[in-house]
Structure formats: C-alpha cells, structure tokens
Amino acid sequence: MTYIGVEIRRQVIERAGNCCEYCLLSQEDSTFSFQVDHVIAEKHEGETVLENLSLSCPNCNSYKGSDIGSIDRETGKLTALYNPRIQSWGDHFRLDGPVIEPLTPEGRVTVRLLRLNRSEQIEERRGLIAFGRYPCTQSK
C-alpha cells in the first residue's frame, strides 16, 4: 500500500469536513482515526491522488477493502460502488433517521457491501442524532 503523506491526508480530511464520506460519521465522534481510502483501489490501478482518495471511517474502509463494485440484487447487474469523488451522496442515499437508505443501484451495493446499517451503527447514530451530531456536515 502506498504511503499517504501528511499533506495529502490533511487535504482529504479538510475536503471531507472530517466526515466519513460513506456513512457520514464525524471523525470527532469516533474512537479510531479515520483512514484515507483509495476509491478505486490500487490493485485496480487507482492512483494516490486527491481525485481518487476519500476519508473513510475504519468500519466502512474495512468492509470496502479493495472492492470497487458488487452485484445489485434488484437488477442482477455488476454495479460500481458509490464514488464520492464523482457522485453526490444525496443522489444515491437518503437518511431515514439513523438508517441509510439507498436510492440507486450504486447506493444499494454500497449499503450492502460496506454494511452501512449494522445494528451497532444504527444505535450509535441514534445516540449522535440525539446530540445533534449526526449526520456529519460535509463541506461540499
């Protein structure tokens, strides 16, 4: 894995508003440091450039791994994961309280593969919502 320099990491964090770009958790509300994710993994020749990096919480990043797509159950088609660099979160997902609901095939494969609605996460989000801390507000 390519080393991500301090400056590029800072830029990724700033662009994301310190939010996980998949589940919208704030890094401030996480026990663990967020990770710089290659949207298109290096094994698929994704480059270590700002245009291919996103900020991801450890949960989202570990389930995403080096995957770039999955089979959408509704269409049966190979479908790319949501790409926060070229797509807008609100076009592919919406929040129903603490639950992330997919709106598109890309949204569906992303919710399933990254397990965005595990019960622990829903509970955590419910707590954060009560404190006005979820969703994390992205600066874009």
* Binding site residues, Zn ion, CB under 5 A: 20, 22-23, 57, 60
Report the nearest approach of Zn ion to the CB of residue 60 (Å).
3
Report the nearest approach of Zn ion to the CB of residue 110 (Å).
11
Host H or E run for residue 61: helix 58-64
**60 versus 111: smaller Cβ distance to Zn ion:** 60
CA distance 128 to 39: 26
C-alpha separations of 82 from 2, 32, 56, 109, 131 in Å: 22, 23, 13, 8, 28
**22 versus 134: smaller Cβ distance to Zn ion:** 22
**7 versus 81: smaller Cβ distance to Zn ion:** 81
Report the nearest approach of Zn ion to the CB of residue 42 (Å).
20
CA distance 80 to 84: 12
**31 versus 76: smaller Cβ distance to Zn ion:** 31
Query: Token pair for residue 67?
Result: 């995957």
Report the nearest approach of Zn ion to the CB of residue 62 (Å).
10
Tokens 């310190």 -> residue: 18
Q: How far is CA 108 from the centre of its chain?
A: 13
